[in-house]
């Protein structure tokens, strides 16, 4: 860190779409003096208006200042060349899912540390190629599951360890969201399982509501690939897409835990996603986007708590400075990637019958009547849609 004599130079790959969030976050950390935006990798350069509030030192071998004042960040569609010319210390990768592994390895080969957006890869083989390559290069890689930065996660695990809700009988997850049909036209790969022969796996549980899966696994302590004993999936779709938009998954861990997560992008009344820990004498509900926790247990009144959150890029900087442990390592997402692999290998999602959904004309989105209740019931009972009696559900696919 001291080699840079000031804020860490960062290159952002993918600055539009969700990448705008990363752009704003880098601006926030630049204002704190922790990083400076040295470069942006985009096929179409950002306009000065899109870069309002940013400046960077001259590129290439020219002089650099700690503040980086004077010029806008360098831009290029060539990621490797941009890393070289900017002398980047960290790369934030927020690009299409199939590009993650190759871009991560491009950075790793140059000794550049990484914040890699979730899902880290579209298949377990690509994930292993990325994780093994990063490890061999000796660089640090943080996987972008922002919910893992919530201080509620270790707090809930401590409550579980203390026996606050008794014996844990299982963990459920529920995500009832709505997405307009334009959502599936946001990018060429959106809503695809494969594109031009490459895996994409852009399904409800692997991308928009992936945090529900990863957070449930984390609360159980089953985060590594070897923690997974079996996976059951039910993949369905109401939208005219290749991938799934209404699905559920049940993971059995080597420790005997059951973790069921149900999700949809066709909710009647979209609401905050949550993870639910079932205990023999109580339950803990965690609304992970809000860092909000509700503890309910026998002999006590309900207790609601709100926690702070550590930003993952900030944590990566602190880790590189020797001041913090890394929050989301690649190996710590191995169990999630086993779920991605089970979904990738499952039969293609089944289209719901035409009478199982309707088009909300005001929002231009497809809605599945009753799905909100099914999602909640799955989290509450750890059952799959077919076991809850959903008329449109299919028999589960089992992966071991």
Domain stop point among 88, 116, 147? 147
Pair (233, 207) in one structural domain: yes
Residue 105 has pLDDT above 60, yes or no: yes
Spell out the alpha helix ranges (H) of 291-367: 312-320, 334-345
Say what percent of the chain tops pLDDT 90: 90
Q: Which residue has the higher pLDDT, 64 or 201?
A: 201
Q: For the residues 345-372, what does the mean pLDDT come to? A: 97
Residue 6: predicted pLDDT: 87
What are the angstrom distances between the C-alpha of 235 and each of 52, 54, 178, 397? 42, 43, 17, 9
Pair (138, 160) in one structural domain: no
Residue 281 has pLDDT above 50, yes or no: yes
Pair (61, 92) in one structural domain: yes
Pair (7, 91) in one structural domain: yes
Pair (215, 353) in one structural domain: yes
**Out of 70-79, 170-179, 342-351, which region has the weakest mean confidence (pLDDT)?**
70-79
Indicate whether 372 belongs to any domain: yes
Residue 393: predicted pLDDT: 87
Pair (168, 285) in one structural domain: yes
> How far apart (Å, rounded) are the C-alpha atoms in residues 347 and 232?
12
Pair (272, 218) in one structural domain: yes
Residue 71: predicted pLDDT: 73
Q: For the residues 330-357, what does the mean pLDDT come to? A: 97
Residue 54: predicted pLDDT: 82
Over the stretch 213-266, which tens digit does the pLDDT of each residue have?
Answer: 999 999 999 999 999 999 999 999 999 999 999 999 999 999 999 999 999 999
Tokens of 329: 């390592």
In the chain, how many domains are there?
2
Q: What DSSP string describes 12-27?
A: EE--STTHHHHHHHHH
Spell out the alpha helix ranges (H) of the chain: 19-31, 79-86, 100-108, 124-137, 152-161, 210-220, 312-320, 334-345, 371-381
> How far apart (Å, rounded) are the C-alpha atoms in residues 238 and 256?
33
Residue 65 has pLDDT above 70, yes or no: no
Confidence grade of residue 59 (pLDDT, cut at 50, 70, 90): very low
Q: What does residue 307 show for φ and ψ, rounded to 5 degrees?
A: -115, 165
Pair (108, 66) in one structural domain: yes
Q: How many CA atoms lie within 13 A of 179 on its CB side?
A: 25
Pair (53, 166) in one structural domain: no
Say what percent of the chain tops pLDDT 70: 93
Q: For the residues 312-340, what does the mean pLDDT come to? A: 98
Residue 394 has pLDDT above 90, yes or no: no
């Amino acid at each position: 860190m001291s080699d840079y004599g000031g804020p860490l130079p960062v290159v952002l790959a993918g600055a539009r779409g969700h990448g705008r969030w990363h752009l704003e976050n880098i601006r926030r950390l630049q204002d704190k003096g922790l990083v400076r935006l040295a470069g942006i990798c985009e096929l179409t350069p950002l306009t000065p208006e899109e870069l309002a509030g940013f400046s960077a030192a001259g590129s290439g071998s020219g002089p650099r200042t700690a503040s980086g004042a004077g010029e806008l960040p360098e831009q290029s569609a060539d990621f490797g060349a941009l890393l070289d010319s900017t002398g980047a210390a960290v790369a934030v990768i927020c690009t299409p899912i199939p590009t993650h592994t190759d871009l991560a390895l491009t950075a790793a080969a140059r000794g550049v540390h990484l914040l890699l957006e979730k899902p880290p890869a579209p298949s377990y083989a690509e994930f292993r190629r990325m994780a093994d390559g990063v490890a061999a290069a000796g660089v640090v890689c943080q996987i972008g599951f922002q919910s893992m930065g919530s201080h509620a996660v270790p707090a809930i695990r401590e409550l579980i360890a203390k026996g606050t809700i008794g014996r844990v009988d299982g963990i459920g997850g529920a995500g009832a969201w709505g997405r307009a049909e334009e959502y599936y036209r946001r990018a060429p790969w959106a809503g695809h399982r494969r594109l031009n022969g490459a895996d994409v796996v852009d399904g409800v549980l692997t991308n928009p509501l992936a945090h529900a899966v990863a957070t449930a696994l984390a609360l159980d302590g089953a985060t590594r690939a070897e923690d997974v004993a079996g996976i059951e999936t039910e993949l369905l779709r109401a939208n005219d897409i290749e991938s799934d938009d209404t699905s559920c998954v049940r993971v059995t861990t080597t420790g005997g835990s059951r973790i069921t997560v149900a999700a949809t992008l066709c909710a009647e009344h979209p609401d905050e996603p949550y993870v639910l820990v079932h205990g023999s004498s109580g339950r803990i509900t965690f609304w992970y986007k809000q860092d909000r926790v509700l503890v309910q247990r026998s002999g006590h009144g309900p207790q609601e708590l709100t926690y702070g959150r550590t930003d993952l890029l900030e944590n990566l900087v602190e880790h590189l400075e020797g001041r913090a442990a890394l929050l989301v390592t690649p190996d710590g997402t191995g169990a999630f990637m086993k779920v991605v692999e089970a979904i990738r290998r499952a039969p293609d999602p089944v289209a719901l019958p035409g009478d199982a959904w309707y088009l909300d004309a005001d929002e231009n989105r497809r809605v599945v009547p009753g799905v909100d209740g099914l999602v909640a019931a799955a989290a509450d009972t750890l059952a799959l849609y077919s076991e809850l009696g959903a008329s449109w559900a299919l028999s589960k696919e089992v992966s071991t």
